[in-house]
Structure 1
Amino acid sequence: MNVDLPLQLLGGLSPQLFMKRHWQKKPLLVRQAIPGFKPLLDRSALFEMAADEDVQSRMVIQEPEQVPGWRFKHGPFERRAFPALKRPGWTLLVQGVDLHHNAVHDLMNQFRFVPDARLDDLMISYASDGGGVGPHTDSYDVFLLQAHGRRRWRIGRQKDTSLQPDVPLKILANFVPEQEFVLEAGDMLYLPPRYAHDGIAEGECMTYSIGFRSPNRGELAREVLQRLAEDAEDLVGESLYRDPQQPAVSRSSEIPPQMLEFAHDALRGALQDPDALGRALGEYMTEPKASVWFDPGNESVDGTSESIRLDRRTKMMFDARHIFINGESFRAGGRDATLMRQLADERALSLKDVGRASAEARALLQTWCEAGWLHGV
């Protein structure tokens, strides 16, 4: 992607300028980001998807005549579980639609000017008239693309983040909007993290939310350390603790300070290997979500297809020394590394490019093909 090329998707800004001026800084409203945009799934298809056990779905129903005024349910949902279409004030949220629908996956790929390590998923929100989930903040960046109908957004930099009590949703108690916009099909609103917003459907509407992954420090440390622990002996060796100068003790239950220092040295040794740390991070960032599964394939990378293409559910990234795919890591260098990085960036390789790979790399591609991670097209 040419990150210096102006995009209508970003209101005429180049990806480079957008990231500099708006990313994690301030909102951006783009009228007709995708002119003439129409939903990639109709209402019936979305409802059918929400009935699938492998799809994460939720329903929010406003009940102003009751306390606490909101009802929240987790899917899957059978068709009869949905309120009447003419009933106002209810919303269906279907998460990770990009994992299940090629056109939605292709739409999300238009936002790959942000690193894949940050791009999370595309959620579709269907709402009846007046539907919404209440004023709230998100911990991540989000692009809100209007796909059908109209939705009124109120947004603001919220200082008071206290929540309404006894409500099954995280709804702000004292929301103070600063701006208001009505989005129609093809319009898009970008919001940085912690920017309060409240979207209310004006008639039946559908909104696509492109969300981004923001792991917290504790989560990242836990996941990376768990992966480092699996290779701990290879990283720091198997030398035994020795204490030839240990004196006799009168309090035998006290842990010796030198044993604590021995443990510190072992941990420092594991963390000081940049390859090991990068490998652990890459494996974590490409680990498929728990609901993701692949159908084994029997295609050949040397077959009659014109190219090979990554499955829409496959996550593939790289660093200076490794290739990462679906939670696994491989060392790569030279021409093979160049081709694998091209596959990760473009999510496809021509058979001519495949033919330039070494026998070992082609064997690896064949293994991924048989696992259902990539396909011939």
Structure 2
Amino acid sequence: MYKLNLDIQQFIGQYWQQQPLVIKQAFPDFVDPIGADELAGLACEEEIASRVVVTKDKDWELIQGPFEDYDKFGETHWQLLVQAVNHWYPDAQPLVEAFRFLPDWRFDDLMASFATPKGGVGPHFDNYDVFIIQGEGQRRWKVGNKLADTRNVKTRGGNPDSPLIDDFEPIIDIVLEKGDVLYIPPGFPHCGETLSLAMSYSIGFRAPSQQELVSQIADELIDTNQGQQRFTSNEEGSAPGIISASHQAGIMALLTQLSQDPDCYQAVLGKLLSQNRFELDICEGEEAYSTQELLDALEQGASIRRIGGLKVLRLEDDASARLFINGEVHPLPGTDEATLQQLCNHVMLSPDEALALCRQAEVLELLCQLINKGYCYLSE
């Protein structure tokens, strides 16, 4: 277990999405959840997102995985980064649990990195919140003031496709050691440089953009044949070539109506926010379980566990009793709110907890379905 040494209420009130923060010894006696060899092994797999960044005289080369050999990179000036390690390496999940004081819908993934001396990714900024946890070794981090407008940031070398930006004046310049944590909100430029062979971990939290929301709303309206209302008015413009201000406002008010109607936006949000950016390690068995076989397994002491990264969400004040799981809607019309919350909040159900829940037939059906889809699995 990882216990974060942090005053959570103070952090959310004073720093969350506002200011960066260094938390020395946030994890006393920190133990790396994964070793360098295991991380390199994950980066060999085609379905796992990985990359190597090579530092070259104030420039950086990005090489996408998978990787079969690392000898060509030498002993210094490079860094391996592997995304969604929590999906593929169950021993990494306890580190994620330490940050579940923030809602699951925001959680993106746990990225792990192995870096050689002088390795780093260069100055850049992110559009999401990130906690950087230092494992073995040391890395020096610099963080600058928040960028005024991230849409017009000058990229390094004037390359619009580059994720890197010009150097910045740091407001934080710190060497992180094992167990230290650096929190960086969106829009704050930062860069890291490795001082000795090092393992580190980044836990990211995202929120949807307007583009993502509008796209998801459009898909939902088409799929459900909603959104058929058209603009009407009792007055017209003063000239044939003019779109009057009142017409502009009236047309856009159609979108406002959608955003205020829970029947339109709740399913959209549930589906969107329960999806993952990275592939899940689906754990399908060779043969499907029947509900009776599942009950038998629970009676014999099996627990039910989610696969890493799976999001099970419930909308507060939802008009329907349902769960949103990996972008899908699961109606549970006969299930009480306490049970829905338990299914959302627990990544593992003990045999007794699962058996108690399975007294409700539709919950039993759901759990059996999730196991057969490979979203959950039985463990000792």
TM-score range, shorter chain: 0.7 to 0.9
Instruction: Tell me how far 1:55 sits from its aligned partner.
Output: 0.7
Q: Larger deviation: 100-109 or 143-152?
A: 100-109
| Counterpart-to-counterpart distance in 2, 1:272 and 1:159 | 32
Structure 2 matches for 1:124-135, cutoff 5 A?
124-135=112-123
| Structure 2 letter corresponding to 1:163 | T
Q: Does 1:97 align with 2:85?
A: yes
**TM-score where L is the length of structure 2:** 0.81
Structure with the bigger RCO (C-alpha within 8 Å, sep 6+) is: 2
| Structure 2 letter corresponding to 1:375 | Y
Structure 2 matches for 1:166-185, cutoff 5 A?
169-185=162-178
Partner of 1:247: none
Which of residues 4, 9, 15 in structure 2 aligns to 1:9? 4
Partner of 2:269: 281
Instruction: Tell me how far 1:374 sits from its aligned partner.
Output: 1.4
Shift in alpha-carbon separation, 1:101–1:70, aligned structure 2, 3 A: same
Partner of 1:307: 303
Structure 2 matches for 1:119-158, cutoff 5 A?
119-158=107-146
Instruction: Tell me how far 1:46 sits from its aligned partner.
Output: 1.0
Shift in alpha-carbon separation, 1:97–1:58, aligned structure 2, 3 A: same
Which of residues 199, 203, 208 in structure 1 aligns to 2:201? 208
Partner of 2:244: none
Provide the secondary structure at the position in 2 that maps to 1:186.
coil
Q: Does 1:45 align with 2:41?
A: no
Partner of 1:114: 102
**CA deviation vs aligned residue, 1:152-206 (integer Å, no higher than 9, x gap):** 1112205584221166742222311122111111111111111121211001111
Which of residues 353, 375, 378 in structure 2 aligns to 1:376? 378
| Counterpart-to-counterpart distance in 1, 2:274 and 2:73 | 38
Q: Larger deviation: 156-165 or 210-219?
A: 156-165
Contact 1:162–1:172 at 8 Å: present in 2 too?
yes
| Structure 2 letter corresponding to 1:58 | R
- The percentage of aligned residue pairs carrying the same residue is 32
| Counterpart-to-counterpart distance in 2, 1:39 and 1:261 | 55
Partner of 1:338: 338
Structure 1 unaligned runs (5+)?
1-6, 244-250, 252-259
| Counterpart-to-counterpart distance in 1, 2:171 and 2:264 | 47
**TM-score where L is the length of structure 1:** 0.82
| Counterpart-to-counterpart distance in 2, 1:142 and 1:265 | 36
The count of residues paired between Structure 1 and Structure 2 equals 348
Instruction: Tell me how far 1:208 sits from its aligned partner.
Output: 0.4
| Counterpart-to-counterpart distance in 1, 2:177 and 2:198 | 9
Partner of 2:51: 58
**CA deviation vs aligned residue, 1:115-139 (integer Å, no higher than 9, x gap):** 1111111111211101111122111
Q: Does 1:219 align with 2:212?
A: yes
Instruction: Tell me how far 1:274 sits from its aligned partner.
Output: 0.5
Q: Larger deviation: 121-130 or 292-301?
A: 292-301
**CA deviation vs aligned residue, 1:35-60 (integer Å, no higher than 9, x gap):** 22132221111111111111101111
Q: Does 1:361 align with 2:363?
A: yes
Which of residues 21, 26, 29 in structure 1 aligns to 2:14? 21
Which of residues 70, 80, 84 in structure 1 aligns to 2:60? 70
| Counterpart-to-counterpart distance in 2, 1:152 and 1:353 | 45
Contact 2:113–2:199 at 8 Å: present in 1 too?
yes
Shift in alpha-carbon separation, 1:224–1:193, aligned structure 2, 3 A: same
Shift in alpha-carbon separation, 1:337–1:139, aligned structure 2, 3 A: same
Instruction: Tell me how far 1:291 sits from its aligned partner.
Output: 2.5
Partner of 2:243: none
Shift in alpha-carbon separation, 1:180–1:270, aligned structure 2, 3 A: closer
**CA deviation vs aligned residue, 1:16-49 (integer Å, no higher than 9, x gap):** 2211111011122111111221322211111111
| Counterpart-to-counterpart distance in 2, 1:74 and 1:81 | 16
| Counterpart-to-counterpart distance in 2, 1:101 and 1:204 | 22
Shift in alpha-carbon separation, 1:176–1:338, aligned structure 2, 3 A: same
| Structure 2 letter corresponding to 1:114 | L
| Structure 2 letter corresponding to 1:360 | E
| Counterpart-to-counterpart distance in 1, 2:141 and 2:276 | 33
Instruction: Tell me how far 1:360 sits from its aligned partner.
Output: 2.1
| Counterpart-to-counterpart distance in 1, 2:120 and 2:67 | 19
